[in-house]
């Protein structure tokens, strides 16, 4: 009888330990992902935001695109995906402006993959406003319209906000994934390219559990 009681007591003591093990999961903060010291505000949709930081000149970002697009198509309804052009160097500003100009002109879905392909498959040198205007002209955007959008107040405002948020994300390379303004995942972390989306999904579930608890 005493042995049974001891066994029962031991099992009860182990329950909190098991719960903690489940809560931590297979991925560790500081190894597989970084928790931001100050969360960055997300949109007002009420959904869990997943944001990709990218640069058109980055071969890793280009290589990730097919997997990323396939992953986006399977996202549940409580998750919202966004893209943000990274500005980790001065010459990245031009491509960031081009991305926001495309969004303003309503051609982002077409020009986003096309610009990646032009630069990485055909090795085209598209690195300044003039070459970007010529590229957009190939996709039905008049040079005048592109140049106006490229230098517009709307694009400048979005770029300024993106740069401000990126300092808070503390990203030092791309591609990087920001989950709900709280966590950063990158290929340079443990798990690398192979487990990138597994880590992101782990963090999505972490945020989902917080909402339901």
Q: What is the DSSP letter of 105?
A: H
* Termini Cα distance of the chain: 38
pLDDT in tens, 123-147: 999 999 999 999 999 999 999 999 9
Among 190, 145, 192, 163, CA closest to 27? 190
The residues spanned by each domain of the chain are 29-212
What's the pLDDT tens digit per position in 190-205?
888 899 999 999 999 9
CB 56 within 8 A of CB 87: no
pTM of the model: 0.87
**CATH node for 29-212:** 3.40.30.10
Does residue 18 surpass a pLDDT of 50?
no
Cα gap 33→25, rounded to integer Å: 12
Place of tokens 């489940």: 22
Task: Write out the two tokens for 130.
Answer: 């003039």
Kindly report, residue by residue over 63-73, the tens digit of the pLDDT. Answer: 999 999 999 99
Percentages helix, strand, coil for the chain (3-state, rounded to 5) are: 55, 10, 30
Cβ neighbour number for residue 135 with a 10 Å cutoff: 19
């Amino acid at each position: 009888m005493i042995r049974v009681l001891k066994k029962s007591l031991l099992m009860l003591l182990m329950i909190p330990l098991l719960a903690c093990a489940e809560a931590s999961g297979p991925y560790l903060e500081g190894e597989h992902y970084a928790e931001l010291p100050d969360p960055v505000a997300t949109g007002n949709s009420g959904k869990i935001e997943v944001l990709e930081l990218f640069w058109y000149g980055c071969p890793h970002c280009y290589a990730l695109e097919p997997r990323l697009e396939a992953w986006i198509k399977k996202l549940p309804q409580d998750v919202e995906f966004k893209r943000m052009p990274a500005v980790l160097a001065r010459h990245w500003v031009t491509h960031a402006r081009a991305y926001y100009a495309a969004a303003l002109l309503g051609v982002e879905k077409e020009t986003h993959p096309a610009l990646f392909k032009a630069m990485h498959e055909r090795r085209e040198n598209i690195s300044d406003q003039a070459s970007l205007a010529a590229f957009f002209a190939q996709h039905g955007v008049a040079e005048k319209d592109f140049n106006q959008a490229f230098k517009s107040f709307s694009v400048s405002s979005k770029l300024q906000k993106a740069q401000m948020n990126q300092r808070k994300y503390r990203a030092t390379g791309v591609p990087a994934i920001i989950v709900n303004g709280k966590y950063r995942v990158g290929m340079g972390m443990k798990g690398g390219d192979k487990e990138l989306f597994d880590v992101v999904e782990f963090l999505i579930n972490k945020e989902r559990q917080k909402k339901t608890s």
